[in-house]
Structure 1
Amino acid sequence: MRRTGLIIIAAILAIIALPHLASARDFALEDFFAGRSVAQGEFKAINGVDRKFRVALTGRWNGRQLTLREDFVYADGQRERKTWRFIKTAPGRYSGTREDVVGPAEVTIKGDVARYSYLVDIAPGPKQNIVRFHDTIRRQPDGTLLNTAWVSKFGFPVATVRVVFSKK
């Protein structure tokens, strides 16, 4: 009887702990971004530029690569489309490219936090204007993702970005 009681208690504890264990798993880009999602954000620069935007995202996961199309609409009506391609290189690790990104963006995820840094040409054309984005994405308790970034030029901070992603 004593052994049976311990087995029952162990089973009950396992059932109670199961949802908590599942939520403690590191998040994966493909888990959140495959399918449709939306975002709202703001870019603020030290020169006074303040651009609010909305983004409709469409992600496709093929088992190795996440293709993430971002359709931006800025508060002034300007529209822009960018497409990330993230290749999963190991659990919690991705290498990403985008048309305005110079070189790869190496993403590392630990728990609920993804970090990556990458160079962006913010004025594509004959005269480049390269800045570095330093992104941190945190999975929030409500299931959204909060992306905060600071932007630097020659090592000096020049802007910040805040974006909240949610599933559609």
Structure 2
Amino acid sequence: MKNWLLILCCVLLSSCSSVSIEDYAREQPTLDLYEFFAVPVEAWGMFQNRSGEVIKRFHVDIRSHRQGEQLILDERFAYSDGSTERRVWTLTPDGEKRWTGTADDVVGEARGEVAGNALHWRYQLRLPVDGSTYVVSFDDWMFLMDRDTLINRASMSKLGVELGQVTLFFRRQPDAE
């Protein structure tokens, strides 16, 4: 009986599939990274540990520009503990729906794919914590809600163990041009 229960659990687990970017291919409005970041953007977010406790809140000012086909995002973070950080992303199209991204604290390249109103990113980030630096993995989903609003939810993990979630709300600031 125990063997059948184990087999049943394995079958059920293997039948679970992850969400595919193509599941959002028909969703509107269509996300165009060049268009969304054509004006200044503000973002507000938080990091929650795996039990759901909010560990850190933050605000981000994002200014961007194009260099040929590349999209450069200059992000300036202000955290609830008073600390600040800057990350400059260089995003490069890699085919019709794919993007790669680099930044000083990203290990290698971020890889992303766009479909409909969604962008799915995966990357590793060097994260400073209490004087040490850890390499953590991000599984990052962004969803365009309307022309000016993008919602981002990212799962952060190390060695396959989830450490927590990052939630961000982006708002275009067209009047700030």
TM range (shorter): 0.7 to 0.9
Answer yes or no: is the 8 Å Cα contact 1:100–1:121 preserved in 2. yes
**What is aligned with 1:13?**
none
Which residue of 93, 96, 116 maps to 2:101? 96
Q: Residue 45 of structure 1: CA displacement?
A: 2.0
The 1:147–1:25 alpha-carbon spacing in structure 2 relative to 1, beyond 3 Å, is closer
Distance 1:104 1:163 in 2: 21
Superposed counterparts of 1:54-69, under 5 Å: 54-69=59-74
Query: Are residues 1:31 and 2:55 paired?
Result: no
**What is aligned with 2:112?**
107
**What is aligned with 1:163?**
168
Structure 2 regions of 5+ residues with no counterpart? 1-26
**What is aligned with 1:6?**
none
Under a length normalisation based on structure 1, what TM-score does the superposition of the two structures give? Answer: 0.79
Residue identity in the other structure for 2:97: G
Distance 1:29 1:90 in 2: 14
**What is aligned with 1:43?**
47
Distance 1:134 1:70 in 2: 19
Please report the RMSD computed on the Cα atoms of aligned residues, expressed in angstroms: 2.1
Answer yes or no: is the 8 Å Cα contact 1:28–1:92 preserved in 2. no
Which residue of 76, 86, 95 maps to 2:91? 86
Which residue of 99, 105, 124 maps to 1:119? 124
Greater RCO (Cα-Cα under 8 Å, separation 6 or more):
2
Question: Which protein has the larger Cα radius of gyration, Structure 1 or Structure 2?
Answer: 1
Identity score, percent: 30
Distance 1:99 1:118 in 2: 13
Structure 1 stretch displaced more, 98-107 or 137-146: 137-146
Answer yes or no: is the 8 Å Cα contact 1:115–1:135 preserved in 2. yes
Answer yes or no: is the 8 Å Cα contact 1:26–1:109 preserved in 2. no
Q: Residue 159 of structure 1: CA displacement?
A: 1.0
Answer yes or no: is the 8 Å Cα contact 1:72–1:79 preserved in 2. yes
Q: Residue 75 of structure 1: CA displacement?
A: 1.1
Answer yes or no: is the 8 Å Cα contact 2:127–2:136 preserved in 1. yes
Distance 1:38 1:127 in 2: 29
**Equivalences, count:** 145
Distance 1:80 1:121 in 2: 13
